[in-house]
Structure 1
């Protein structure tokens, strides 16, 4: 059997004045192929963002990125790289994880006020792989575990929207859809 190579994630989608940081684990296969966050069609992340900030799921990726930044939302992943056969978070080889540099991210994005985890795995990896290495002031950032937008989470879409909106609405800037 050949040695599995590590998947390598993307730079964050972020404006310097962002207030909300949405964290996933690591881009899946379709996202890596297309070089876009949440590119797998059955993942409802972009439908959630369309509902919350007008980042239309069927609009060009660059326009969706700009809409998130205008709303004060940053998107990134806990893992800079990790070995994982397939795209399921449960298959990530925990011993291979290299976490992203969150100290540098928070230094260049000082207005982040809340971290929303796109699922429990992202929250757990942040807790175990990132938080111990951060200055204590950064450890006190508000955090919320949101329902995963993955198709593996069978929760109804309307229930996901309700929880995402409830957790993040206070922090999201109003936007004017174009």
Structure 2
């Protein structure tokens, strides 16, 4: 009997200026292989967040330049899951979850206004981890940017563009 592989998330991408923390569930196979957030070419994350920050060519930039653009826009990244067992990339296959400590990270970000969850699984797990502390921030559930969530980008975009209100000065 073959065991199901355990997979781990990446470190958070934040700084003291972070206003919005966008949390996914757990990186997919392509992201894990490349050690980059949202590495699958069909994942719509970089196009969606590029529209949010007015940086339409964000997907064309190098990974490091994308992360720098997010930090400049005061957006941070992390995942709700520190590690879990999962075959493939589907959130439905996530099991034996060890959560990331979202509440501790969030309380250490002095300018944090909102926590956005990229997809239903991230939202469900993240809210559980935040518990009562979730009341300190605006919580924004977002439609998943994953290619496994087959709703088109046009249908997802309005919810993602709501992030602009939080980023405003």
User: What SS does the aligned partner of 1:16 have?
Assistant: coil
What is the distance in 2 between the residues matched to 1:104 and 1:143?
Answer: 16
CA shift for structure 1 position 173: 5.5
Q: Is the 8 A contact 2:8 2:84 kept in 1?
A: yes
Question: What residue number does 1:74 align with?
Answer: 76
Q: Which runs of 5+ in 1 are unaligned?
A: none
User: What SS does the aligned partner of 2:60 have?
Assistant: coil
After superposition, the C-alpha distances for 1:88-118 in whole angstroms (9 at most, x for unaligned) are 000001xx11111223312321221111111
Question: What residue number does 1:109 align with?
Answer: 109
What is the distance in 2 between the residues matched to 1:60 and 1:173?
Answer: 26
Q: Which runs of 5+ in 2 are unaligned?
A: none
Select 1:65's aligned residue among 56, 64, 67.
67
**How many residue pairs align between the two structures?**
166
Query: What's the TM-score once normalised by structure 1's chain length?
Result: 0.87
What is the distance in 2 between the residues matched to 1:90 and 1:142?
Answer: 26
Query: What's the TM-score once normalised by structure 2's chain length?
Result: 0.91
Q: Is the 8 A contact 2:5 2:87 kept in 1?
A: no
Moved over 3 A (4+): none
Q: Is the 8 A contact 2:103 2:130 kept in 1?
A: no
21-30 or 96-105: bigger deviation: 96-105
What's the RMSD between the two structures over aligned residues?
Answer: 1.6
Q: Is the 8 A contact 1:19 1:73 kept in 2?
A: yes
Question: What residue number does 1:155 align with?
Answer: 151
**Residues 139 and 50 of structure 1: CA distance in aligned 2, closer, same or farther (over 3 Å):** closer
